[in-house]
């Protein structure tokens, strides 16, 4: 493995999870976030994602890694577009179902992800426009970083074997989202496995691009209102007096 590729992997394995967890802890400690806070968060996310992606593309090009090796090509157009449509539809349905399930489990509204949603997701039209740019950035950059570059490096290091590339990519992707807690880590790992397998099957990042975009945009636009409803339901449950089981 090239020394620069190894350094990039070490950074993704250590610095990215640590910085993500640190940022989330800061957000959760604050009683609330302002519009300025959210816009700054969006701007810093866009900048950091593109910087990392730019470094990866630069070093990959220097090492002679072409677009096809990073799955930036579309070798099978019909297959790729068909898989992209099906995967995006399934991801959308799953996100909507998960948000509806939250309403039936008010107690879960106080867990890490719902609390985080109220602090980072957009609250008005201007923030939604900025958030759209964040979603595009994250979908494109994280797929290049984890399914394009990382998956290629792990597969190449194992003698161009597909399985190590898929597993290594999924683990690195999940670690980057460790701030979401154990449940978030597990679900992100499973999503990473699916996305990596589809990347290996189609030879393209197009399907993961669209699915990632749909997943983040759906939850970003729908989660705040659903979380507020769940919190309101939880408060109502707490204020209801316990039933008196003694006979009158």
- What confidence score (pLDDT) does residue 32 get? 86
- What confidence score (pLDDT) does residue 30 get? 81
- What confidence score (pLDDT) does residue 199 get? 97
Answer whether residue 245 is part of any domain. no
The total of structural domains in the chain comes to 1
pLDDT, tens only, 11-57: 999 999 999 999 988 888 888 889 999 999 999 999 999 999 999 99
Answer whether residue 188 is part of any domain. yes
Answer whether residue 248 is part of any domain. no
pLDDT, tens only, 161-178: 999 999 999 999 999 999
Q: Which residues of 152-165 are buried (b: 16+ CB within 10 A; e: fewer)?
A: bbbbbbeeeeeebb
Domain that holds residue 82: 3-235
Answer whether residue 242 is part of any domain. no
- What confidence score (pLDDT) does residue 246 get? 43
- What confidence score (pLDDT) does residue 228 get? 75
Q: 152, 165 in Cβ contact below 8 A?
A: yes
- What confidence score (pLDDT) does residue 98 get? 86
- What confidence score (pLDDT) does residue 242 get? 54
Answer whether residue 244 is part of any domain. no
Answer whether residue 246 is part of any domain. no
Answer whether residue 36 is part of any domain. yes
If one counts every other C-beta atom within 10 angstroms of the C-beta of residue 29, the result is: 7
- What confidence score (pLDDT) does residue 241 get? 55
Tokens of 136: 């595009």
Report helix angle 35-62 to 112-120, nearest 10: 100
List, for the chain, all residue ranges whose pLDDT scores fall below the cut of 70.
103, 106-110, 230-248
Answer whether residue 42 is part of any domain. yes
* R_g of the chain computed on alpha carbons: 20
For 73, phi and psi rounded to 5 degrees? -100, 175
Question: Positive or negative CA dihedral for 151, 155, 156, 157?
Answer: positive
- What confidence score (pLDDT) does residue 235 get? 64
């Amino acid at each position: 493995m090239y020394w620069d590729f190894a350094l990039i992997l070490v950074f993704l394995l250590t610095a990215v999870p640590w910085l993500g967890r640190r940022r989330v802890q800061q957000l959760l400690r604050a009683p609330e976030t302002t519009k300025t806070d959210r816009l700054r968060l969006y701007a810093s996310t866009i900048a950091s994602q593109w910087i990392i992606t730019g470094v990866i593309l630069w070093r990959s090009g220097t090492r002679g890694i072409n677009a096809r090796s990073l799955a930036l090509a579309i070798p099978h157009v019909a297959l790729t577009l068909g898989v992209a449509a099906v995967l995006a539809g399934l991801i959308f349905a799953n996100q909507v179902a998960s948000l509806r399930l939250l309403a039936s489990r008010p107690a879960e509204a106080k867990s890490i992800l719902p609390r985080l949603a109220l602090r980072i997701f957009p609250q008005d039209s201007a923030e939604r426009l900025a958030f759209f740019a964040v979603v595009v950035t994250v979908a494109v950059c994280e797929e290049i970083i984890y399914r394009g570059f990382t998956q290629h490096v792990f597969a190449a290091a194992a003698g161009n074997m597909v399985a190590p590339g898929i597993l290594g990519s999924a683990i690195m992707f999940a670690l980057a989202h460790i701030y979401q807690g154990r449940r978030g880590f597990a679900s992100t790992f499973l999503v990473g496995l699916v996305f990596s397998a589809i990347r290996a099957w189609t030879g393209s990042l197009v399907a993961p691009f669209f699915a990632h975009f749909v997943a983040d945009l759906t939850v970003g636009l729908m989660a705040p209102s659903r979380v507020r409803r769940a919190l309101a339901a939880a408060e109502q449950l707490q204020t209801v007096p316990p039933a008196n089981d003694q006979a009158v």
